[in-house]
Structure 1
Amino acid sequence: MATKEPFRITDPETMRALAHPLRQRIMVELNVREHARAADLARTLGEPANAISFHLRVLAKHRFIEEAPELARDKRDRVWRPLVERFLLDGKVGDEDQMLDPILRWTREMFLRDRDAPGSRDDFHQGTASGAFFTREEAEQMMEEVFAVMEKWWDRTAAAKRADPDDPERKYYQILLAVGPRDLAAEPDA
């Protein structure tokens, strides 16, 4: 099972290995399932198995995942398991935009999405921007509480996903949370 301790990304090559959105989704799936074959992931993610195999090898090279030969059916069967669950960029490692740009694009789309468009009621989506007047200690305490709630929901939904990995109603929802002091006077006029 993957460690709960955050994996510290300290170099640009490792960061680039995880920056690819499909590799991030593979990591999510592996952490939920606890192990999987490329074919299992390909079916769930709607990608060709050979593409998934390539991305699995990249993740393995950087020690995000490893093979689990004891779970294989035979010597040709390759089963993978995650080594880490959480990631942390450890300072400025270079090329952070490769990791952040897809997330920020998704966030912008969430805020600008027309909720009255056809099909928009199929999935729940909500974006909000809020603020409060924290001391540093209060902000840290609030984040600990939010992480505890997120952990509870991760555990609950991961258990349901493990029980039925191909449930078409169960979709991957992204959660983005950023907390920090904001100095509006220092921002350029929009």
Structure 2
Amino acid sequence: MASKEPFRITEPETMRALAHPLRQRIMVELNVREHARAADLARTLGEPANSISFHLRVLAKHRFIEEAPELARDKRDRVWRPLVERFLVDGTVGHEEQMLDPILRWTRDMFLRDRDAPGAEDDFHQGTASGAFFTRKEAEDMTAEVFAVMEKWWDRTSAAKRADPDDPERKYYQVLFSVGPRDLAGEPAPESAPES
């Protein structure tokens, strides 16, 4: 089972290894399943098994995952398990934007999506941006409450995913939470729309 202690990323090479969106998704899947073969992950993620195998080897090289030979059927069978569940990045390692940019693009798309597009009603989408006047302590307390709710739902949905890893109704949803003081005076004004 993966360590609950956050893994601190301090090397640029380690950051680059985890920055790839498919490797991040593999880590999520492994943490839910607790162990898997490349073929299992390939089927779930819709990627070729040889591509998944490559990404697994990169993750193993950087100690995010390891082989679990005791779970293998024979010597050729490779089963992988996660070593870490959470990551900490202090923002000075380098290559952080490679990890963050796809998440920010996804967030922008969530807010700007066409609710009337074909298939838009098939999945739940929700985005919100709001503000409040916090003290630092209040912001920390609210964040702890949000994290507790997220942890509860992670545990609940992970248990259901482990029970039925290929349930077509169960999809990977991204949740993004960010809180911090915002000084609008320091932000550039948006360009005005052209007058008609």
User: TM-score surpassing 0.5?
Assistant: yes
Distance 1:169 1:186 in 2: 44
User: Which residue is 1:58 aligned to?
Assistant: 58
Could you tell me the TM-score, scaled by structure 2's length? 0.96
Residues 7 and 86, structure 1, Cα contact 8 Å, conserved in 2: yes
Q: Which amino acid aligns with 1:62?
A: H
Distance 1:5 1:107 in 2: 27
User: Which residue is 2:44 aligned to?
Assistant: 44
- CA shift digits 1:2-34 (9 cap, x unpaired): 011111111211111000000001000000000
Residues 65 and 84, structure 1, Cα contact 8 Å, conserved in 2: yes
Distance 1:95 1:60 in 2: 19
Alignment of 1:1-190 (within 5 A): 1-190=1-190
- CA shift digits 1:45-89 (9 cap, x unpaired): 000000000000000000000000000000010000000001110
Residues 37 and 79, structure 1, Cα contact 8 Å, conserved in 2: yes
Q: Which amino acid aligns with 1:171?
A: K
Distance 1:36 1:94 in 2: 30
- Structure 1 outlier segments of 4+, above 4 Å: none
Residues 9 and 88, structure 1, Cα contact 8 Å, conserved in 2: yes
Residues 66 and 83, structure 1, Cα contact 8 Å, conserved in 2: yes
Residues 19 and 95, structure 2, Cα contact 8 Å, conserved in 1: no
Residues 20 and 99, structure 2, Cα contact 8 Å, conserved in 1: yes
Residues 9 and 87, structure 1, Cα contact 8 Å, conserved in 2: yes
Residues 29 and 41, structure 1, Cα contact 8 Å, conserved in 2: yes
- CA shift digits 1:149-174 (9 cap, x unpaired): 00000000000000000000000000
Distance 2:68 2:187 in 1: 49
> Deviation at 1:129?
0.3
Could you tell me the TM-score, scaled by structure 1's length? 0.99
Distance 1:31 1:94 in 2: 25
Q: Which amino acid aligns with 1:112?
A: L
- Identity over aligned pairs, percent: 89
Distance 1:93 1:154 in 2: 28
Aligned residues: 190
Partner of 2:166, secondary structure, is: coil
Distance 1:134 1:5 in 2: 28
Give structure 1 stretches of 5+ with no counterpart.
none
Q: Which amino acid aligns with 2:120?
A: S
Partner of 1:30, secondary structure, is: helix
> Deviation at 1:91?
3.5
Partner of 2:13, secondary structure, is: helix
Distance 1:151 1:37 in 2: 26
